[in-house]
Amino acid sequence: MNTQNPKKDTKPKITERRRFLTIMAQSVGLSALGGIVWTGYVEEAKASPLLLRPPGALKESDFLRTCIKCGQCAEACPYDTLLMAKPGDGLPMGTPYFIARDIPCYMCTDIPCVPVCPTGALDEDSVSSVVEGKKVLDINKAKMGIAVVDHESCVAYWGIQCDACYRACPILGDAITIEFLRNERTGKHAKLVPVVHADYCTGCGLCEHACVTEKAAIFVLPRDVALGKAGDYYVKGWDVKDQERIKQRNLEELETKTERSEKKPQDYLNMDEELFNE
């Protein structure tokens, strides 16, 4: 029979008051931390209007809702072009992007980053064509962005011969062409300048990567930023989609109605004879 006394518990007892204060301190700390993280995320999400996404990416708002930040597209890229945004990058965390000046998209014909996407955030149909009744991947249909030339810093616009961006373009002669301009400074020579064509440019960034100036004189911007928006009142007469779009709108929204518009033109044009006598 064990007659020894059991060991006394030497741990200090936690009173209800101390437990309450500890829980309160932890709650305040977690709330502050959550607020900091959330504020940082919101600021990062707002600070990314010039972000370049992988081929086939949905519209940015839809992309952010669809992408699960799994990183499979970045793993599939053979050139390490795609990066995954980290805290502090100033970008929506965990989403794929690329910096054309550092490592552009090398326009892989099999587009390995797109088919591995499990949610459709990278839409395979948008970078596919139908050939002989079969759907095949077509990287030339990618719309990652549009290259923009800064005429002030492009040495070709100074009159110095340079076609680095033109030679680097994978859609040679279509996305970028070289055109002649009169050199107003000398009055004798021609400038051979690069011109970007939005219908063909994929936004791969190979031109930006190849640019010889210290800060690239040609750079890729998201299409919405580069092209802007003319507004619903302007219609491309040759664009079937534009014509259909304007037909679907309520014409009353586009009409300006005044008291004069209710009259016939001959009525209000001839209503003031004194005006013509003056």
- pLDDT at position 217 over 70: yes
Judge contact between 150 and 181, C-beta under 8 A: no
Out of 83, 110, 141, a domain closes at 141
Per DSSP, the chain holds a count of helices (H) and strands (E) of: 10, 8
Out of 226, 248, 266, a domain closes at 226
104: domain CATH number is: 3.30.70
Q: Tell me: the pLDDT tens digits for 14-58? A: 666 666 666 666 666 666 555 555 555 554 555 467 899 999 999
Do residues 83 and 129 both lie within one domain? yes
- DSSP code at position 100: T
- Identify the weakest region by mean pLDDT among 67-71, 124-128, 239-243, 246-250: 246-250
Do residues 181 and 213 both lie within one domain? yes
174: domain CATH number is: 3.30.70.20
- pLDDT at position 265 over 80: no
CA separation for the pair 169, 177 (Å, rounded): 10
Q: What is the chain's mean pLDDT, rounded?
A: 83
Q: What is the largest CA-CA distance in the chain?
A: 133
For the chain, helix, strand, coil in percent to 5 are: 35, 15, 55
* Local confidence band at 5 (pLDDT 50, 70, 90 cut-offs): low
Tell me, yes or no, whether 51 lies in a domain: no
Tell me, yes or no, whether 247 lies in a domain: no
pLDDT of residue 188: 73
Do residues 121 and 176 both lie within one domain? no
Out of 83, 113, 141, a domain closes at 141
Q: How far apart are the first and last CA of the chain?
A: 131
Burial tier of 23 (Cβ tally within 10 Å: 0-12, 13-18, 19+)? exposed
Q: How far, in Å, are 85, 90, 144, 212 from residue 47 at the CA level?
A: 12, 6, 18, 28
- pLDDT at position 165 over 90: yes
Tell me, yes or no, whether 117 lies in a domain: yes
Q: How far, in Å, are 61, 129, 162, 191, 202 from residue 150 at the CA level?
A: 28, 33, 14, 15, 18
CA separation for the pair 147, 222 (Å, rounded): 9
Answering whether pTM is above 0.75, one says no
Burial tier of 115 (Cβ tally within 10 Å: 0-12, 13-18, 19+)? middle
Do residues 137 and 151 both lie within one domain? no
* Local confidence band at 167 (pLDDT 50, 70, 90 cut-offs): very high
Do residues 184 and 154 both lie within one domain? yes
Give the range of the structural domain holding residue 191, as residue numbers without chain letter.
146-226
Between residues 270 and 74, the one the model is more confident about? 74
Tell me, yes or no, whether 95 lies in a domain: yes
Q: Nearest-5° angle of CA 53, CA 162, CA 141?
A: 30
Q: How many separate domains does the chain show?
A: 2
Do residues 103 and 151 both lie within one domain? no
E strand or H helix at 80: none
Do residues 156 and 135 both lie within one domain? no
Do residues 114 and 184 both lie within one domain? no
Tell me, yes or no, whether 30 lies in a domain: no
Do residues 68 and 137 both lie within one domain? yes
Measuring CA to CA, which residue among 153, 175, 154, 157 is closest to residue 166?
A: 175
